[in-house]
Amino acid sequence: MATVDLHPDERIDRLYSKEIQIIQSATVFSFSLDAVLLGAFATVPQAAKTKTVDLCAGNGAVGLFASAQTRGSIVEVEIQPRLADMAQRSIQLNDLTARMSVLNQDLLTVTATIPKDSVDVVLCNPPYFKDQPTSQKNPNPHLAIARHEISANLDQILAVTSDLLKMNGKAYFVHRPERLDDLFTAMRAHRLAPKRLRFVHPKADREANMVLIEMIKDGRPNGVRIMPPVVVYQADGTYGEEVHQLLYGH
């Protein structure tokens, strides 16, 4: 592993199952379990020619977690300069600069840099909440942008996803179940067909609070598969076996 400089409020965390180190900051941004689950849910082809783009990349967690699947290139797209810098230093920390890079750019303009119809896989852990006048937002602007659709809304993100993907390219998102109606409407409008859904439950007896979605560009409709659920915690409050393995390995 390379050595990188850290800001005073930063720390280095490790995803032990992937031997990935990532720069985190409680005052700016830290990845959550949703990023780990999305990285594991996504299927990225191994071939060196594979092109992957991680939209709303934050500190680069999802792309970093998916990097072991492929020998291809991964581009992280993040609008916030501080988070983009954290992602770039995490790429250096993991000796992945030959295959991974960061674009500190508004994703709404990213097709000016990455050609349309050129990408095999899009990954995205987008803001979950609509930006409404009545929305209570985090006073920390970094966290507010990460959680609310301030810089781009779901329809815009899916439009860019479709523009980037080749025909039959795939996208992998994590979102909230209560936004599924919005997701399906926007996907249909932008030539994206849902293929796999996997719901995430905090405990076996609780409602799902996350959903993982695989979609394909110009895919046939009505082919959705519902995968077995992820149950995060056992009754005693410890991680379930699958989640424990994703975090810490076997």
CA distance 29 to 145: 11
Q: What is the pLDDT of residues 65-123, one digit of tens each?
A: 999 999 999 999 999 999 999 999 999 999 999 999 999 999 999 999 999 999 999 99
pTM of the predicted model, to two decimals? Answer: 0.92
CA distance 3 to 96: 13
Taking the domains of the chain in order of start, what are their residue ranges? Answer: 10-248
Distance of CA 185 to the CA centre of its chain: 20
Task: Give the DSSP per-residue string, the chain.
Answer: -------TTEEEEEETTTTEEEEEETTTB---HHHHHHHHH-----STT-EEEEES-TTTHHHHHHGGG-SSEEEEE-S-HHHHHHHHHHHHHTT-TTTEEEE-S-GGGGGGTS-TT-EEEEEE----B---TT----SSHHHHHHHBSSS--HHHHHHHHHHHEEEEEEEEEEE-GGGHHHHHHHHHHTTEEEEEEEEEESSTTS---EEEEEEEETPPSS--EEPPPEE-B-TTSSBPHHHHHHHH--
Give the chain's residues under pLDDT 70: 1, 130-151
Residue 139: predicted pLDDT:
57
Under 8 Å CB-to-CB from 250, ≥6 apart: which residues? none
Q: What is the pLDDT of residues 108-117, one digit of tens each?
A: 999 999 999 9
For domain 10-248, give its CATH number from 3.40.50.150, 3.40.640.10, 2.30.40.10, 3.40.190.10: 3.40.50.150
